[in-house]
């Protein structure tokens, strides 16, 4: 007969304190996002009337978003970022899967040596200058491929996927081999359908990394037409005159809006897609992280 556990008064007080602290920390985390959004939709007159700090605006305007989307810079940067994120994430998953699957088989000759070489790259790297020289020597400079190819495989993600493959039931693969399936067909028909959680998890890792990457754009790109949204946003934040970065068909819009409002609206545009996609992948993300961390 099971025993019913009752919470004492001290337990309830401790739970209340924990929930209160978690609520406070959660609000502190969300406050910067809220403030950025509020500043992006607050009219210029109200911003000036409140000294540039508004928490609860009395009116809303979309002039800042109209200004940045009427420019040629931000829409072009968004197209580049979306292309790099989608194509780059697809290439990341394909190459990571093709490398992690054979490494998950302990009978593969030379497996330990390859794993040692891969783990070695987590501890020691060639450095920034050799990486730049390699990218330049391969002809990737000033192309969108320079934002994807140099970071095609993440060692951390590779080890997570390898561990996930090792935890899959071997009986399923053995049954497929008995039915005449080769390694490629077993991977495509059996292993990948069972690996949706880890694919979603690593896809989110790779996708967010591509979306937020600006360092590669600064290093490898000189053509402003190829700048991703994060590079454009960085340049806008660093300059007091946003008109230098935006090519707007109606310059009067910039004269009626403060530069900070334009910058805040660009920040919202840059983070909104990731915030919109994450809730749909959250359950796969959590499940994949737990299953991929069972073994070392």
The two structure tokens encoding residue 221: 């790109």
The two structure tokens encoding residue 287: 């499940």
- Lowest average pLDDT, out of 38-42, 73-77, 146-150, 229-233, goes to 38-42
Q: How many CB atoms lie within 10 A of CB 232?
A: 26
Mean per-residue pLDDT over the chain, rounded: 81
Has residue 52 got a pLDDT over 70? no
* Per-residue buried b or exposed e for 25-44, using 16+ beta carbons within 10 Å of the residue's own CB: eeeeeeeeeeebbbbbbbbe
pLDDT tens profile 53-63: 777 777 777 77
pLDDT band at 254 (very low <50, low <70, confident <90, very high): low
pLDDT tens profile 177-194: 777 777 778 877 888 888
- The domain segmentation of the chain, as residue ranges, is 1-61, 66-296
Q: Which of 40, 4, 102, 76 is CA-nearest to residue 271? A: 40
66-296 belongs to CATH 3.40.50.2000: no
- Neighbouring-strand partners of residue 248: 71
pLDDT tens profile 104-120: 888 888 888 888 888 88
pLDDT tens profile 263-277: 888 888 888 888 888
Has residue 1 got a pLDDT over 60? no
Q: Which of 27, 81, 56 is CA-nearest to residue 266? A: 81
pLDDT band at 291 (very low <50, low <70, confident <90, very high): low
- Lowest average pLDDT, out of 92-96, 135-139, 156-160, 258-262, goes to 258-262
Helix or strand or coil: residue 103?
A: helix
pLDDT at position 18: 92
pLDDT band at 244 (very low <50, low <70, confident <90, very high): low
Has residue 4 got a pLDDT over 60? no
């Amino acid at each position: 007969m099971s025993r019913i556990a009752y919470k004492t008064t001290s337990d309830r007080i401790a739970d209340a304190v924990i929930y209160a602290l978690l609520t406070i920390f959660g609000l502190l985390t969300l406050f910067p996002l809220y403030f950025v959004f509020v500043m992006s939709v607050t009219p210029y007159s109200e911003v000036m009337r409140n000294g540039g700090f508004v928490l609860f605006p009395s009116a809303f305007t979309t002039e800042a978003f109209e200004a940045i989307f009427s420019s040629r810079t931000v829409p072009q940067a968004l197209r580049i970022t979306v292309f790099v994120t989608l194509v780059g994430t697809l290439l990341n998953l394909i190459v990571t899967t093709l490398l992690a699957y054979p490494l998950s088989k302990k009978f593969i000759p030379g497996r330990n040596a390859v794993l040692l070489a891969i783990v070695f790259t987590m501890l020691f790297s060639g450095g920034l200058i050799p990486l730049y020289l390699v990218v330049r020597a391969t002809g990737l400079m000033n192309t969108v491929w320079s934002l994807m190819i140099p970071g095609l495989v993440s060692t951390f993600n590779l080890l997570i996927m390898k561990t996930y493959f090792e935890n899959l039931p071997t009986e399923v693969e053995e049954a497929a081999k008995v039915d005449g399936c080769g390694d490629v067909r077993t991977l495509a028909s059996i292993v990948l359908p069972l690996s949706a959680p880890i694919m979603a998890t690593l896809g989110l890792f790779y996708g967010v990394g591509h979306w937020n990457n600006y360092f590669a754009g600064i290093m490898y790109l000189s053509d402003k037409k190829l700048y991703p949204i994060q590079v454009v946003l960085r340049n806008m934040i660093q300059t007091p005159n946003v008109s230098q970065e935006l090519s707007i068909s109606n310059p009067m819009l910039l004269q009626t809006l403060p530069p900070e409002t334009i910058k805040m609206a660009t920040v919202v545009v840059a983070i909104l897609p990731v915030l919109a996609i994450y809730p749909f992948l959250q359950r796969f993300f959590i499940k994949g992280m737990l299953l991929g961390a069972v073994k070392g």
